[in-house]
Structure 1
Amino acid sequence: MSGMKVIKPTTITTAMLTSSTVAEPAAGEVVWNAATAYAAGAVVIRATTHMKYERVIAGTTAMLPESDPLNWIEAGPTLRWAMFDRKIGTATTAPTAITVVTRPGSISGLGMLELVGRQVVVTVKDAPGGITVYSRTVNLDGTMITSVYEWFFLDFEQLSDFVLTDLPQHFAACELTVTITSTTPVSVGVLQVGQAMTVGRAAMGATAGIIDYSKKEKDRFGNFDVVAGAFSKRGNLQVLTPATEFNKIFRSLAALRATPCIYIGADQVGFEPLIIYGFYKELSMVVAYAQHHLCNLEIEGLSQ
């Protein structure tokens, strides 16, 4: 199999987001106003925090919603910022296209998850308005064509996750532009950039699966009552690592124990289940050989 990598996240701040074609407030979003009397259940947004808040108790309060948990509870990110909130299950959507321009600093990796669309174009300039130093176009048709018949008759298969780990990281003032397009509505659940770290070469025998949180109960006649719930990806990887980097890899992975990252078991088309956004539950490194060691990772994805 290919090399196993991890994209360590860079948090996109308000200052880093230069522009987005998704407005804030978006259509249907209401900006909080201190003088307005809100009914229980009313939802407003705060552009300062890029969050939505739901009213708990009807009334008017001058205190900011993010500082008033008695009257307001968080109700998720705004539409523009859903793709940057580092959570599965929230998405930025648009009728046919989304374009965002950011200044994230030095980065070498980019991952996009929960995608709906036909094409993504990623461009990096050496500085804002500068020279293009990187450009990639990703076709989001994940259909595996093996015959002329399939070329003409197979349905479009949405490629929902992809990663890039070859961005030029030596441009600290880079400008990153990402555009997703289609002739139908587009959606992006997660756009994460950061430093891509190579752990080693993934050995054969990697496993991928899910943990299902659906509720399944039998009634007194033995019939199942099923309530669909969330699920999370999970994976078990065994990675062959250079013995000379034992300490570096151990310390680097240990530092990520509480940080949601994109773990890439394989970055080839057709192996998307081995792209997992989440945490590792267990890390162990086995001093097995003179020149190489074995790194075992049990990874659990965020719920979706």
Structure 2
Amino acid sequence: MKVIKPVSIGRDQLISSSVAEDDYPAYVPTTDYPVGARVVYQAQVFECVQTPNVGNTPGAAPLYWALAGPTNRWAMYDSEVSTQTVGDSPLRVVVRPGLVNSLALLELVGTRVKVIGRDGLGGPILYETERALEGSIVTNWYEYFFEPFSPLSELVLTDLPAYGSLHLDVSILAPGAEVACGAMICGTSYFIGDAEYGGSVGIVDYSRKDTSETGVTTFRRRRFSRRMSTRLWLETARFAAVYRLLSGLRATPCVWIGTDAEAYGPLTIYGFYKDFSIDVAYEMMNFCNLEIEGLT
């Protein structure tokens, strides 16, 4: 199992994006906004909730402005997986994350992803890969002819060259269709231990089911978050290092990778650990128990 400790992607790190930031008009201090009007301010969308509203800066005047969420361009860099950046194919971004060795793309919609790493903007290519987002497993002739394709919704790369001047050019493609990305996380990956069989993975669904007095049931589809519980084999020589690593990641959203095998994509979770414990079991080997809670 590995964990990716992310770095922040802000305006200094985002070099370019094919997604325009034109969700709503930019905030103008001299305009008197009516209730319900939306504006863009510092990559966030705000909605007016009170009038008169002149000169009240969004973010600094909560009585006048309610945060509606990030703009479409910046949705893939916030702390939520379900807020996707959506655009026409190819959705292409160039970022300068600093010294990192890993990249995670979550809640993807597309058919292919292409990643190019350069030494500086326009410099020589240090890294290049192209991956198909296809995870169909055919077990019989009926599935071969009639079962729809099963696209992968996550891609994790932990073999990026560790260059301080690394520029990542990421393209999400699906010819003739829209593509999307829920989260793009760059960071440094750390190996924790080898996961053993017997772990569990699932979701917590925040949808609502309501049944009326006449027995009619309606559903309100809402977000969900992933969960994972696992036990790891941990060499005694790495006991102190892993303990310090996990202690330093408390209350920190990270990418937790249960295994590198593509067939176990649901074991990749962007979230935080609720609890961890290390059992000092043997002289040469310990056990690490982790409870991971994903973000919506």
How does the TM-score come out when normalised to structure 1? Answer: 0.92
Q: Is the 8 A contact 2:75 2:83 kept in 1?
A: yes
Query: Which stretch of the first structure deviates more once superposed, 230-239 or 212-221?
Result: 212-221
Shift of 1:268: 1.4
Aligned equivalent of 2:11: 14
Q: Is the 8 A contact 1:86 1:192 kept in 2?
A: no
Q: Is the 8 A contact 1:35 1:60 kept in 2?
A: no
Aligned equivalent of 2:28: 33
- Corresponding letter in the other structure for 1:137: E
Query: Which stretch of the first structure deviates more once superposed, 137-146 or 113-122?
Result: 137-146
Shift of 1:87: 1.2
Query: Which stretch of the first structure deviates more once superposed, 57-66 or 110-119?
Result: 57-66
- Matches of 1:221 and 1:22, distance apart in 2: 47
Q: Is the 8 A contact 2:49 2:63 kept in 1?
A: yes
SS in 2 for 1:246: helix
Aligned equivalent of 1:252: 245
SS in 1 for 2:98: coil
Q: Is the 8 A contact 2:173 2:179 kept in 1?
A: yes
Aligned pairs, number = 295
Distance 1:57 1:293, change over 3 A: same
1:228 aligns with 2:228: no
Aligned equivalent of 1:205: 198
Q: Is the 8 A contact 2:33 2:54 kept in 1?
A: no
Shift of 1:59: 2.8
Which of 92, 112, 116 is the matching residue for 1:99? 92
1:160 aligns with 2:157: no
Aligned equivalent of 1:275: 268
Shift of 1:188: 0.6
Shift of 1:35: 2.1
Which of 60, 64, 67 is the matching residue for 1:67? 60
**Gap runs ≥5 in structure 1:** none
Q: Is the 8 A contact 2:226 2:294 kept in 1?
A: yes
- Corresponding letter in the other structure for 2:3: V
Shift of 1:37: 2.1
**Gap runs ≥5 in structure 2:** none
Cα RMSD, aligned residues only: 1.7
Shift of 1:60: 3.3
Shift of 1:104: 0.6
How does the TM-score come out when normalised to structure 2? Answer: 0.94
- Corresponding letter in the other structure for 2:230: L
1:263 aligns with 2:260: no
